[in-house]
Amino acid sequence: MSIIGVGIDVAEIDRFQAALERTPGLADRLFLESELLLASGERRGIASLAVRFAAKEALAKALGAPAGLHWTDAEVYVEGSGQPRIRVTGTVAARAAELGVRSWHVSLSHDAGVASAVVIAEG
């Protein structure tokens, strides 16, 4: 196995919230329903959404940031153990396959008004 790509991104949480409020429907273009809602059915908090957005940006960077990737072709989720994961489909899965990506590593954090994510693509 070798590292194919590494991506990192940060998102200012207040700025991200303002973008969501300013642009109706943006959340639905960026996230799957499973990312928008907690297991309880409640809407996920803004810091949690911002860190998922940062992870998708980091994922794109790990893939070389090609044009044509769809935001909803990457799902950021957390396993029961608490470990974050990424699931890819469609345009993102096609690019990953083109590069030979076989697994993903992801780290998420948010504190002091900033959400950050690191994604490593391994093949």
CA-CA-CA-CA torsion sign (48, 107, 54, 11): positive
List residues forming the annotated binding site for Mg(2+).
9, 57
Question: Tens digit of pLDDT for each residue in 30-86?
Answer: 999 999 999 899 999 999 999 999 999 999 999 999 999 999 999 999 998 999 999
Question: pLDDT grade, residue 1 (50/70/90)?
Answer: confident
Question: Tens digit of pLDDT for each residue in 84-120?
Answer: 999 999 999 999 999 999 999 999 999 999 999 999 9
> How many structural domains are present in the chain?
1
Q: Which residues form the domain of 65?
A: 3-122
Residue 44: the pLDDT is 95
Instruction: Please report, for the domain that includes residue 43, its CATH number.
Output: 3.90.470.20
pTM: 0.95
Angstrom distance (rounded) from CA 20 to CA 58: 19
